[in-house]
Structure 1
Amino acid sequence: MEGVTTNETITSHTEFVLFGFPGFIKNRKLLIIPFTVIYIIIMVANLFVIHRIFVIPSLHSPMYFLISLLLTINVTYTASILPKFLVGLTFDWNQITLAGCLIQIFYISFMSLFESGVMLSMALDRFIAVCRPLRYNDIMTSSFLVQLSVAGIARSTLFISPMVILTASVRFCRSNIILNFVCENAGLLSLACGDTSKPQAVGLMVRILVTVTDVSLILLSYSCILYTALKIAVGKARRKALNTCGAHLTVAMIIYLTALISSVIPRVQTHMTPDVQNIISAIYHMTPVSLNAFVYGLGVKEIRRSFTKSRKNKTMSR
């Protein structure tokens, strides 16, 4: 596991230690409480909204299918990060193999790109609903939704695989301690003793390409929606057209702003402590998945109304 030199040959590490929040070394177990609470909130909130969409027939529409797909990504994304960290805190078992680290990097990056693709599909759905309402049922069919999902999976796999393959080819001999609670590509590459320019360049190129493309198309879509709503719809119809887009835009802003913050701040503040870097990482990984369910659960009238109705039914049955 340790890097040793024998006949001028450096052995690459195959096992690492995820040592998040090193400044809390004496009170690390206290971190179990806040992160467990965060994990429970994320899982309960997302699964509740998914359940409401699944059991209420009136919510069986393309828009709510995409919402449930987004929240399912949130659940699986969180499950790939926090349980491992909580187990490490509880039992002091922080080891992870190189293969396990690469799998986590692939999965986290894959889900981030897939999430962006779902947001783009949501924008397309709202564009057709508002700007092409007469063709909505003909275009947004079940088969088309499946095609969008498959295309999102294929795009994420195609973009992320080269970065992970290039990272796997690097030798890691500086240290086997990752000062983070999750395997991230930048954190793993910081332990490399060889040239890391290729995986870093590919990772940066993918992030810029996907973010710029998706954000541009989303903004274009909602600009057309706003123009159409203000030009054609009046009164209640206009408010409905705008309200259906409000939650999607809020979620998109949360996702892309947290990604932007996590990318810019570490590059501006080069002398950050590992704890500050961990906090930024936690904000990036946990904020969107924590808030998305609340935005849709409270911001979308149909889901909010179904929740209120179910509470009234339970109260009357007592």
Structure 2
Amino acid sequence: MIVRKLLAAGAMLLAATAAVSAQGLEKPSITLGGGEKPLLYYLPLTLAERLGHFKEQGLTVEVQDFGGGAKSLQALVGGSVDAVTGAYEHTIRMQAKGQDVRAVIDLGRYPGVVLAVRKDKADAIKSVADLKGAKIGVTAPGSSTFILAQYLMTKAGLDPKSASFIGVGGGASAVAAMQKGEIDAISHLEPVITKLESLDAIKVLVDTRTTKGTMDTFGASNPAAVLYLKKEFIDANPKTVQALVNAFAKTLKWLQSATPEQVADAVPEPYWLGDKALYLKALAASRDTYSPDGTIDPASMKSMLDLLTATDPQLDAGSIDLAKTFDGSFLKNASVK
């Protein structure tokens, strides 16, 4: 396929460019954490890796897939990874805990999370307000899919503790959990949602893949996947962080003009869940979620803070300095040539 041929043809050139670029980096080899990488939530990470954008910047990036965003955060705090592609919300939570973790580029401007009910439960669960007592599948407890489901329940006047949350992972395991009747509802991402829709297994209740769905839910954009790091790492390795931001900025630019076919051909085939046509449909449904420029505006930051305070009464909004959750200086200096 065209994209795969281009990747192979450019491999030698990338290697030569990387050797030159790496000379000025403080840490040319880094470990980057993610959660359930095949999900479209993490598409910019997969593309940056597969298109050679890390290598172009002189970076050797080892991606560790932890199966959930909360686990990636734990790895960063524990020091086993240098950076994380994960939910923006973690920068706020960590500040509340006295730890300075900052996003340096936004990859997803909308959550892309869909809350849906199992089709045979649709008559009983017609809205979020009917989820009391339900078993809700999420990628992992503490993840963005978990937090959004809690927020929606709180917004509907329900105590999130009135439902059970079950970690179902991503991909085939999440689909199987729904098909086997192990869960009544699911808060999840693409391509899992499109796969379940193709099986006529779910009825969508809330959809944050689109501009309208996100605005209806939050009243503003709501940052999703970002690249975040500890402030101490940023300060000690500014050239390395700039290289990472350059790679992701170029990936976002590529994604804006790439066709669904080009995107599908650039990712590993197992990500298609055995159905390329379905993957293309999932891409189309998720296209709006990706950030066109990598920035996060104050209104979007406030939208996320409101979500977190609604689900966590112990989080003191007044103690959070949102300006310290996002460092846009690297993005301003990003080179995407």
- TM-score, normalization by structure 1: 0.27
Q: Which has the larger radius of gyration?
A: 1
More strand by share: 2
- TM-score, normalization by structure 2: 0.26
